[in-house]
Amino acid sequence: MKTKQDLELSRILAMPLFFLMLCMSSLCIAQECPKLLSPLDGATQVDVNTTINWEPITGVPGYILSIGTTPGGTELLNEKNVGSSTTYTPPLGLPENTEVYVTISLFFFNRPTVVCETQRFTTGPLTEIPQCTTLQLPLNNANNVNPATNILWAASPNATGYRISIGTTMNGRDIIDNLDVANALTYNPVNDFPAETTLYITILPYNRLGTAINCTTFNFITAPEAQLPNCSSLITPLDGETNVPLSPFLEWTPVENATGFRITIGTSPFDSNILDNAIFYKTSTVIIDFEPNRTFFVTITPFNQAGDALGCPQETFSTLIGCGPYYDMVSGELTVLNPEFTLPEKIALCSNTSNKTITAPINADGYRWYKVEENGRETLLSTTKEIVILEEGNYALEAFNIINDANNTFECATTTYFEVEISVQPTIKDVVVTQQANSLSYEIMTDNVGDYEYSLDNEQGPYQDINLFSGQSLVTHIVYVRDKNGCGTASRILEYDPTINGFPDFFTPNGDGINDFWNYLPVLELDNDKIATVHIFDKYGNLIFIFNSDSNGWDGSYNGKQLPEADYWFKAQMFSNKIFKGHFSLKR
């Protein structure tokens, strides 16, 4: 993929026309088209309420969808622009037992739309009658509803049509009597409803298996007579216009009896993520910093004291080429003008070094480093290539290139988020040595908590994540603790002392005069081999008995009561100040 250093935007826009025409014919052949992901091409027994999903294609800013019952047909959906979305749910569902053809067209800002090969699947049969629907406009129990209102309701899965009745009494039909509106979700009455009247409406979804049962009758109260405003439409930019500047001036037609206008703008036909019913009392505004390479969907709804204009259409426009990705017809590659770089998700800085500098891994025209708070708020920290970070937390780096074309200067930016951890050099607090019959075990304790790994006898490794080494030979060993982030290594020599063999693995205090006491039995008679004190503990860490070198040892009792068979633990301090820890068994 090419970057800014390889190509300037002006090169693309200044391409000779004859070359453009030659490339367009080959482009359509070479262009990758999306495959259906759900339902798959050729699938059968597909649910009539299915959602259609397709794979995204790199470099394609938008998709246009058509659905029909013949190859290339559009009677179910006619060239619907769905923006950059790769999913679409037909609001009225699909016909049962029908071969459905889906055509996905690829929308581009700087070249013609590419129509991809039609894919197909077959729906299954209906298996149940539809459920009841809900009234969406007006809302149930609404007051002051304009008498010129339309009636809208939600789609009912499995419905193939709807019958509507409206009256001035509960279950009445004096205005509309069980009218079949086919498979539609709206009804526009021929005449206005009577003013200041409570109206009752029943909507019954149906299919060939039957009609929904026990459906609610909705009601609303109309307002005094008043005239709703008509709809408005875009003047600047025009509906369907492309290459619109990133900070466009929006203007729409005035409406004679409108008090104001509700403006909704989104990046798909279903979103309102730019403006959501924002109210304007004039017919123009400036919108700042639209995203490049996007199609935007605009709905303008005039309103007055009588209510909102009804059925106002959605319009679209597309921003200028911007940062890409788009197709470079000279090289045949996808081109982006944004900096391309990555940072590790986690970056560790060592507490024991003065250098806590992070450097952006790319040369760009500018940089912005942010601290990201838990609530998502971003605070600007630096605008240089390097930054010194002293505390743990979440951060972001935004690197950008400044692009100049004939009419505009704009930034193409890339942002990546990362977490900073402060790593501490390990220090060994203690090593617990446990001796079995013919082997030793070492459990390594550190003074601090860190991301450490452990090795035995070799500083180069191999290292392991757990801090325990079992089954080691009865010789002197060296243990190593290493910070995984490169912040240092600690070591300790563990000299083997044969005196540890003097602690028995078990004793049998049964009164037969043999092995009735547990005590230290030195292997050699050495002056520094004698114990000063021994502490005995149960498995819960409770102190049970203390004895010294002049004692016979422990007889297996506590406060005169014989203790049960179990494992017990000891801590012995020698006159040489060496401390030994381990465990043994009491057997009866």
**Helices H / strands E in the chain, number of each:** 2, 48
Residue 179 CB coordination number (10 Å):
14
412 lies in a domain? yes
366 lies in a domain? yes
Look up the domain containing 452 and give its range: 428-496
Same domain, 483 and 516: no
DSSP state of 139: P
Amino acid of residue 462: P
Nearest to 95, CA basis, from 177, 192, 208: 208
* Coil vs helix vs strand at 364: coil
233 lies in a domain? no
What's the CA gap between 251 and 264, in Å, rounded? 14
Q: Are 296 and 264 in contact (CB under 8 A)?
A: no
Same domain, 118 and 177: no
In the block, tokens 């369907």 appear at: 240
Q: Are 556 and 509 in contact (CB under 8 A)?
A: yes
What's the CA gap between 405 and 9, in Å, rounded? 6
* Coil vs helix vs strand at 296: strand
The CA distances from residue 34 to 19, 52, 103, 335, in Å, are 27, 12, 10, 20
Q: Are 329 and 112 in contact (CB under 8 A)?
A: no
What's the CA gap between 226 and 353, in Å, rounded? 76
pLDDT at 407: 56
Q: Are 74 and 68 in contact (CB under 8 A)?
A: yes
Q: In this structure, which long-range contacts are made by residues 172-175, counting pairs with CB atoms below 8 Å and at least 24 apart in sequence?
A: 172/200, 175/199
pLDDT at 6: 45
Same domain, 44 and 94: yes
Paired tokens of 294: 């996007």
Same domain, 483 and 527: no
Paired tokens of 319: 């921003």
Same domain, 194 and 165: yes
In the block, tokens 């002051």 appear at: 144
Paired tokens of 166: 């409206």
Choose one of 376, 400, 423: the last residue of a domain: 423
pLDDT digits (tens), the chain, 588 positions: 444 444 443 333 333 322 233 333 333 335 689 999 999 999 999 999 999 999 998 878 889 999 999 999 999 999 998 888 899 999 999 999 999 999 999 887 656 788 999 999 999 999 999 999 999 999 999 998 889 899 999 999 999 999 999 999 998 999 999 999 999 999 999 899 999 999 999 999 999 999 999 999 999 999 888 788 999 999 999 998 877 877 778 999 999 989 999 999 998 888 888 899 999 999 998 876 677 778 889 999 999 988 889 889 999 988 866 676 655 556 656 677 889 999 999 998 888 777 788 999 999 999 999 999 988 888 999 999 999 998 899 999 999 998 876 455 778 889 999 999 888 889 999 999 887 757 789 999 998 888 899 999 999 989 999 999 998 887 889 999 999 988 899 999 988 765 556 788 899 998 888 889 998 876 544 445 578 899 999 999 999 999 998 888 999 999 989 999 999 999 998 887 888 888 999 998
pLDDT at 422: 87
Cβ-in-10-Å burial (0-12, 13-18, 19+) of 556 comes to: buried
CATH number at residue 452: 2.60.40
Same domain, 405 and 469: no
462 lies in a domain? yes
Across the strands, what pairs with 186?
Answer: 152
Same domain, 434 and 491: yes
Same domain, 189 and 118: no
CATH number at residue 93: 2.60.40.10
The CA distances from residue 374 to 105, 393, 420, 495, in Å, are 41, 9, 14, 49
Choose one of 374, 397, 423: the last residue of a domain: 423
315 lies in a domain? no
pLDDT at 486: 86
Domain count, the chain: 5
Nearest to 399, CA basis, from 414, 385, 416, 386: 414
452 lies in a domain? yes
Find the Cα–Cα–Cα–Cα dihedral 150, 151, 153, 155, rounded to 10°. -70
255 lies in a domain? no
Same domain, 487 and 504: no
**CA angle 159–161–165, rounded 5-degree value:** 115
Same domain, 478 and 506: no
Choose one of 222, 245, 276: the last residue of a domain: 222
104 lies in a domain? yes
